[in-house]
């Protein structure tokens, strides 16, 4: 397994697609810093549990505010659904096995 790459994640999320659709171009550094700042805003503004897919949808809206585009509901839904295509953290498999050894159910078990 490879280490997590935020550029790979954002590529899997096709986050550049909304910008392309709105005629915007940006560097990888701008993409990463804007994503990080938007994610922080969304996480800091929460009052209770928010599933990560919903958080991602809100992140794209925040990114749009910064970068000057307004993602529609379909763009937000595609971005949120992209989490299923993200590469795993390098230690994900071992961590899930460790949780299982302590009697914890993993997401894979819960959805199977």
Q: Tokens in use for 96?
A: 């899930």
Q: Which fold has domain 6-111?
A: DNA polymerase; domain 1 (1.10.150)
Per-residue pLDDT of the chain (112 residues; tens, 9 = 90+): 344 466 666 665 666 566 667 777 777 778 778 888 998 999 888 777 888 889 989 999 999 998 888 889 998 998 888 877 776 777 777 877 887 887 766 555 444 4
The answer to whether the CB of 66 falls within 8 A of the CB of 37 is: yes
Alpha carbon distance, N-terminus to C-terminus of the chain: 23
Res 28: pLDDT: 72
Going from N- to C-terminal start, the domains of the chain cover: 6-111
- Provide the 8-state DSSP code for 103: T
């Amino acid at each position: 397994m490879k280490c997590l790459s935020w550029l790979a994640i954002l590529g899997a999320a096709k986050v550049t697609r909304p910008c392309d659709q709105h005629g915007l171009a940006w560097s990888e550094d701008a993409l990463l810093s804007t994503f990080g700042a938007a994610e922080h805003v969304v996480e800091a503004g929460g009052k209770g549990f928010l599933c990560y897919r919903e958080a991602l949808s809100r992140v794209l809206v925040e990114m749009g505010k910064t970068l000057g585009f307004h993602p529609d509901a379909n763009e937000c839904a595609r971005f949120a659904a992209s989490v299923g295509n993200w590469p795993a953290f390098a230690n994900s498999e071992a961590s899930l096995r460790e949780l299982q050894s302590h009697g914890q159910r993993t997401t894979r078990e819960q959805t199977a």
